[in-house]
Amino acid sequence: MAKYILGIDEGTTGARTFIIDENSNVLGLAAGELTQHYPRPGWIEHDPMEILTVQYETMRAALRQAKLTPADLTAVAITNQRETALVWEKDTGRPIYNAIVWASRQSTPVVEKWVEKGLADKIEESTGLIPDAYYSASKIAWILDNVEGARERAEKGELLAGTIDTWLIWNLTGRKSFVTDVSNGARTMMMSMEDLDWDAELLEAYGIPRHLLADIVPSDSIFGDIEASFGSPVPIASVLGDQQAGLFGQAAYSPGQCKMTYGTAGVFDINVGAEVARVDGLTASVAWKVQGQKTYEIEGVLFAMGKTMQWLRDDLNLIHAAPDSEWYAGQVPDTGGVYLVPAFTGLGAPAWDPYARAVIAGISNATTRLHIIRAAVESMAYQTRDLVDAFLASGLHAIPELRVDGGAVKNNLLCQLQADILQIPVVRPRISEATVFGTMLLSGLTTGIFESLDHLASQWQAERVFEPQQSKDWADAHYHGWREARELTMGWTKKIGQEI
Ligand code: ADP
């Protein structure tokens, strides 16, 4: 009998549902958009009830498209936007405030207070993260501090809190399962990376009661079943945060295997094996716990990847659509010494400078818009080398190749440049949806559709391999120029006395 997997992909801009068979053929795919709420500058929120409605609609639509009913499914898999967090009433299921989205800055003062209390070292040591409002802990604390009566109600046990995976599971299982997986837990700034459990000392220091939080379980657990919401007892058999799901979907099961996702932002993740590892400038995290084995990762986030193409398109009107960048950039052999460093909102990993602002350096009379567009495409490749070099400096593992995914990797010029600048092959997989496929493949492993990780690794296929075509001297000289340009961006708002 055919086996079918339903994959839930709950993202920041929208919700999608995929249905695949055991040969990874896509039989159903539905997508819906989410409303972004911006109550104040720098704040981003979602309506948690809308997340459920939109997700459920896409689940029904994907089933209809595949001509299947829930009873035909073998497994449900979840991947989700990480860090986004909410608090809700245990009895009614009603959120007491919107979900605060990962990118939202409203809880910055909460984190500053924690840092003033001297918690920074403890946080980094236990969770692998550098204290920031990006992670879930301060968002939950902010809700408890700012919604009237919330702290009291939390103490009395009337409330629950969690990340988006937990919210989906609790609702899909008819409020029976209150759990999260280790990859999501790792992004809350509350989980000990060694123990894969909440860090009691941190919870105490944050003022977040343990009974507010879900149990943390392995990524290949049976998280409950969807009978209450979809009428059939289909197990939720995999949960992975989006970036870890991407790493899993790229079949990066061995240390040194890595992926780079070129979306609006850019995210590099590398498998570092069964022990926690730390690398200067990058964050340490948990990749997954699967078949009883813990796997750790190192991650680097770049704030502007495809974002730079959107800027060229929407604000400078230099291109009509992001894919046009490939044609324009290909009209010139090089940038003529121009570098574009897209530090629009500061620099993320590995330089971490909130005061940095973007520059276009090296403009001469001969510079045309073609050079600027090419410099923008090249900036994606140089930023990736920043991360790869930061990792290689640790001496932990060699990086034999880079597996790539995300919207911008359709750009062949970008992939070739990336191989040239890194001096390693860049491999684009046949299945471009690494994230949702990652969690769906894992649920297939949990439920016995696929026999082993080795089997999954053997199924992974390259669509195209980009071999370096330039010399190492060429790569180093061009990268040197980038580093000089990057230097120019640093500390900018401080230098000109502008508030950030
Ligand atoms: P996300 O999931 O982060 O929204 P996607 O993975 O869908 O992003 O990728 C979309 C991003 O990729 C956009 O920022 C877009 O500008 C960029 N992009 C899409 N196609 C290309 C292309 N051919 N060349 C360069 N950038 C592209």
Question: What is the per-residue pLDDT for 500?
Answer: 63
For ligand 1, the distance from its centroid to the CA atom of residue 374, given in whole angstroms, is 16
At 165, list the tokens: 């995976």
Question: What is the per-residue pLDDT for 449?
Answer: 94
Quickly count: other Cβ atoms within 10 Å of residue 447's Cβ.
20
CA–CA separation, 53 and 10 (whole Å)? 12
* Residue reference for tokens 């919107």: 98
Atom of ligand 1 nearest to the CA of 410: 23
For ligand 1, the distance from its centroid to the CA atom of residue 322, given in whole angstroms, is 7
At 426, list the tokens: 């860049």
Q: In order of start, what are the domains of the chain with their CATH numbers?
A: 4-241 (3.30.420.40)
Ligand 1 pocket mutation, candidates 259, 307, 308, 309, criterion most atoms within 8 A of CB:
309
Instruction: Take atom 1 of ligand 1 and give the residue whose Cα is closest.
Output: 263
At 419, list the tokens: 């191989």
The tens place of each residue's pLDDT in the chain, 500 residues long, gives 789 999 999 998 899 999 999 999 999 999 999 999 999 888 899 999 999 999 999 999 999 999 999 999 999 999 999 999 999 999 999 999 999 999 888 999 999 999 999 999 999 999 999 899 999 999 999 999 999 999 999 999 999 999 999 999 999 999 999 999 999 999 999 999 999 999 999 999 999 999 999 999 999 999 999 988 898 999 999 999 999 999 999 999 999 999 999 998 999 999 999 999 999 999 999 999 999 999 999 999 998 999 999 999 999 999 999 999 999 999 999 999 999 999 998 898 999 888 899 999 999 999 999 999 999 999 999 999 999 999 999 999 999 999 999 999 999 999 999 999 999 999 999 988 999 999 999 999 999 999 999 999 998 999 999 999 999 999 999 999 999 999 999 999 989 988 76
Residue 293, beta-bridge partner list: 290
Say if residues 184 and 241 touch (Cβ distance below 8 Å). Answer: yes
Closest CA to 98 of 82, 86, 108: 86
3-state DSSP assignment of residue 488: helix
pTM for this entry: 0.94
Instruction: Take atom 8 of ligand 1 and give the residue whose Cα is closest.
Output: 263
Half-sphere exposure of 14 (CA within 13 A, CB side): 8
Cis peptide before 350 (omega within 30 of 0): yes
For ligand 1, the distance from its centroid to the CA atom of residue 306, given in whole angstroms, is 5
Instruction: Take atom 13 of ligand 1 and give the residue whose Cα is closest.
Output: 306
For ligand 1, the distance from its centroid to the CA atom of residue 264, given in whole angstroms, is 6
For ligand 1, the distance from its centroid to the CA atom of residue 172, given in whole angstroms, is 31
End-to-end CA distance of the chain: 59
Compute the 3-state secondary structure of the chain and give helix, strand, coil in percent, each to the nearest 5.
40, 25, 40
For ligand 1, the distance from its centroid to the CA atom of residue 418, given in whole angstroms, is 16
Atom of ligand 1 nearest to the CA of 313: 16
For ligand 1, the distance from its centroid to the CA atom of residue 386, given in whole angstroms, is 20
Closest CA to 354 of 483, 496, 490: 490
Residue 267, beta-bridge partner list: 261, 301
Atom of ligand 1 nearest to the CA of 406: 6
Instruction: Take atom 23 of ligand 1 and give the residue whose Cα is closest.
Output: 323
Quickly count: other Cβ atoms within 10 Å of residue 17's Cβ.
27
Say if residues 426 and 384 touch (Cβ distance below 8 Å). Answer: no
Q: Which residues lie below 8 Å from residue 22, measured CB to CB, with a gap of 6+?
A: 2, 3, 4, 5, 444, 449, 450
**Amino acid at residue number 342:** P
**258-262 and 283-290: which strand pairing?**
unpaired
CB-defined site of ligand 1, < 6 Å: 13, 263-264, 306-307, 309-310, 322-323, 325-326, 406-408, 410-411
